[in-house]
Chains A and B, each alone.
Chain A
């Protein structure tokens, strides 16, 4: 077996299996134009599996609700994530998984920016640039091997 990049990650307690967001009056009304908020984005991505460990991004504290900025009005979403270690070579893959998840679940009007949290990765600039280059993302998703890996990580997303 290959050596894990981070052999002993710190594990955090995940919130309840279901959404941590409180039920709202109009949740069952499909016609309602309930604005999308950070909690909703967090719920979409927190159960994505880490590419290395049988753990979710939430359990590894890679994603946190407070590191998500949403403006429904301006159709913009910014997700900042925290790699478990500063030299994590999986950072781009994790970011890609988050991007694909949101690509599949959010209305297409949203412009999504994804970046590693400032100061949490040694190649922060390079990782961010790659994750936000739509051409590279489009090409990556035509790579069947890579897409399979992404889909595996997304299989646990609920």
Chain B
């Protein structure tokens, strides 16, 4: 039976861990917490993933909880989103003592910044907040960040932003139960689609490696898979706006989590989906066969909705992965090299590193 094996437990945070983010190319993990710090963790020996040490602490710049952390695509910088409404940009001081320094502070949100994300090219940064807005920032030289756009179509808190893996296309998830897709037309950012279907807050979203699908995690205790349909798609899904693709829910994964789902990660190494939340359990799904349950062409024509309820194949379910605590974050290692690694962070203040064993 496939299972998750715990490789290491990383202790150090003094409050709940909100988010864990892998370095884009190295076996280094950044985690952030209610203790207002980010910790950087590194395997002491690349061959032995059971021994980790904290090699850096980012502190002093944020006065309140750090809700999320994200590495720039080149791994040179970290962005932190805090309840203090600001976004911090951090760099390792390679010439000096090797400590991480806050080199820029992005201000503008009216209250808590919930999530930040760098575009694949590293040229853009997106932030979102309880103030219902999503901001797009252009990364300029000398740690300057210029706000290109303030997007205000969500009607409630925006919980998370995520960039498409290759295109300059942004997805945002909200307390208003929707996911919105944002694109730009000559630097003019607009909402190209609004994905409705979840019955409660959408806490997390992640793209699959191709960028044609999104998985979303919600307080309604389901995961949904959304597929992009471009104009003239062979399935016959209607695309009402000229030249604009639409995203449709193609499967709703039900019957597993029995409380809020806070985090979801779609592996770019092997395509498995991991999710976790307030039911203390990490689940690993194989959802490759979801389309076997897709409706027939006639049914799609009748409803214009390809989606259906779907159980998914649960490969592994680790109960009490952080004891009786909520799990706020799960993240697959981003590349093949250690693609079987999964990091998790919980309300217990611990960070855990797991490995999926598939026999």
Name B67's contact: one of A75, A129, A135 (CB within 8 Å): A135
- Ordered by A's residue number, 5 sampled pairs between the chains whose C-beta atoms are within 8 Å are A135-B112, A138-B65, A138-B83, A139-B65, A139-B111
Chain B residues whose C-beta falls within 8 Å of the C-beta of A133 in the assembled complex:
175, 201, 219
The distance in angstroms between the C-alpha atoms of A49 and B171, with both chains bound, is: 43
Chain A residue with the shortest CB-CB distance to B63: A142
State whether the Cβ of B114 lies closer than 8 Å to any Cβ in chain A: yes
**B130 lies within 8 A of A139 (CB):** yes
A109 contacts the other chain (CB 8 A): yes
Q: How large is the interface on B (under 10, 10 to 19, 20 to 34, 35 or more residues)?
A: 20 to 34
Residues of A within 8 A of B (CB): 75, 108-109, 111, 129, 132-136, 138-139, 142
Known contacts A129-B200, A142-B65: does B326 contact A134 (CB below 8 Å)? yes
Give the contacts of B159-189 with A (CB-CB under 8 A).
Answer: 159, 175
A139 and B326 in contact (CB under 8 A), knowing A111-B278, A129-B200? no
Contact of A108 among B34, B259, B325 (CB under 8 A): B325
- Tell me the bound Cα distance from A140 to B260 in angstroms: 19
| Residues in A whose Cβ lies below 8 Å from that of B130 | 136, 139
**Is B53 in the interface zone, CB < 8 Å from A?**
no
Bound form: Cα–Cα A109–B326 in Å:
9
Q: What's the least CB distance linking A141 to chain B, in Å? A: 10
Interface: B64 (CB within 8 A): yes
* Besides A132-B219, A139-B83, 10 other A-B contacts (C-beta < 8 A): A75-B324, A108-B325, A109-B323, A109-B324, A129-B201, A138-B34, A138-B65, A138-B83, A139-B111, A139-B112
Specify which chain B residues have a CB less than 8 angstroms from the CB of A108 in the assembled complex: 324-325, 347
Q: From A126, which residue of chain B is reached at the shortest CB distance?
A: B156
Q: In the complex where A111-B259, A111-B278, A142-B64 touch, is A135 in contact with B324 (Cβ < 8 A)?
A: no
Question: What 4 pairs between A and B have smallest CB-CB spacing?
Answer: A109-B324, A142-B64, A139-B83, A139-B112
Q: Which residue of A lies closest to B203 (CB)?
A: A135
Residue in A closest to B320 when the chains form the complex, CB atoms: A109
- Complex alpha-carbon distance, A129 and B159, angstroms: 14
CA distance in complex: A132, B159 (Å): 15
CB distance from A114 to the nearest CB of B (A): 14
Question: Are B83 and A142 touching (Cβ within 8 A)?
Answer: yes
Q: List, in ascending order, chain A residues with CB within 8 A of B259's CB.
A: 111
Most buried by B among A109, A132, A134: A134
B201 closest partner in A (C-beta): A133
A129 vs B199: C-alpha distance when bound (angstroms): 11
B132 CB, min distance to chain A CBs, angstroms: 13
Query: Who on chain B is nearest to A109 by CB?
Result: B324
A106 to chain B, nearest CB (A): 12
Please name all residues of chain B whose beta carbon is closer than 8 Å to the beta carbon of A129 when the two chains form the complex.
Answer: 175, 200-201
Bound form: Cα–Cα A133–B67 in Å: 14
Q: How far is the CB of B57 from chain A (nearest CB, A)?
A: 20
Nearest A residue to B347, CB-CB:
A108
Chain B min CB distance to A147 (Å): 12
Residues of A within 8 A of B347 (CB): 108
**A30→B26 CA distance, assembly (Å):** 49
Chain A residues, Cβ within 8 Å of B325: 108
- Chain B 206-223 interface 0/1 with A at a Cβ cutoff of 8 Å (1 = within): 000000000000010000
Q: How far is the CA of A87 from the CA of B345 in the complex (A)?
A: 39
Q: How far is the CB of B55 from chain A (nearest CB, A)?
A: 27
Question: A108 to B347, alpha carbons, bound, how many Å?
Answer: 10
Chain A hits for B323, CB < 8 A: 109
CA distance A5 to B301 in the complex (A): 53
Chain B contacts for A132, CB-based, 8 A: 219
A75: which B residues are within 8 A, CB to CB? 324
Question: Which single member of A109, A135, A138 contacts B159 (CB below 8 Å)?
Answer: A135
What is the minimal beta-carbon distance from A67 to any residue of chain B, in angstroms? 21
In whole angstroms, what is the CA distance A142 to B112 when docked? 11
